[in-house]
Amino acid sequence: MDISTVAFDKPDDLNVILGQSHFIKTVEDLHEACVHVPGLRFGIAFNEASGPCLIRRSGNDDELVGVAVQGAQAIGAGHVFVIAMREGFPINVLNAIKQVPEVCHVFCATSNPLEIVVAETEQGRGVIGVIDGSSPKDVETDGDIAERKAMLRRFGYKL
């Protein structure tokens, strides 16, 4: 078995959700989960793992569909899905995505630099995990806590 990492090539302002699913219906159901968020622009790619083994795709933004397809192609693992999004955040769709019956696992939901850890055998490739952003540098101070709480209130996530 060979283990390697795949850097996910994306613009800095883009959010990505990466997960694993199990059925060709995934791409349509993920589309339905995303389309209900007002203003959300998104692209979806799903690596089919049997039959013709195509990268299935959908979305409401051609550029983001292209980013999702490029990411899914680079990862090259069966039953992996990629959702690339703008004008919204993963928190706006994550619960709906987790409720899609075909979704087995969500590896990450991030706007950070992203690397995917991939194992490869004679059969194919699989995702082992992800490296999402950077390692911690320190423990937050009281000032950092106050700043975090204020930011969440500015964004409307807390009262």
∠ CA 113-114-120, nearest 5°, is: 155
CATH number of the domain to which 18 belongs = 3.40.1520.10
Asked, for residue 115, whether it belongs to a domain, the answer is yes
Asked, for residue 32, whether it belongs to a domain, the answer is yes
Enter the pTM of the model.
Answer: 0.92
Spatial CA neighbour of 88 closest among 14, 11, 3: 14
One digit per residue, pLDDT tens: the chain, 159 residues? 999 999 999 999 999 999 999 988 999 999 999 999 999 999 999 999 999 999 999 999 999 999 999 999 999 999 999 999 999 999 999 999 999 999 999 999 999 999 999 999 999 999 999 999 889 999 999 999 999 999 989 888 888
Asked, for residue 159, whether it belongs to a domain, the answer is no
Q: How many domains does the chain have?
A: 1
**In angstroms, what CA-CA distances link 13 with 21, 107, 108?**
26, 20, 16
Residues facing 17 on adjacent strands: 83, 109
Question: Residue 20: which domain range?
Answer: 2-154
One-letter amino acid of 61: D
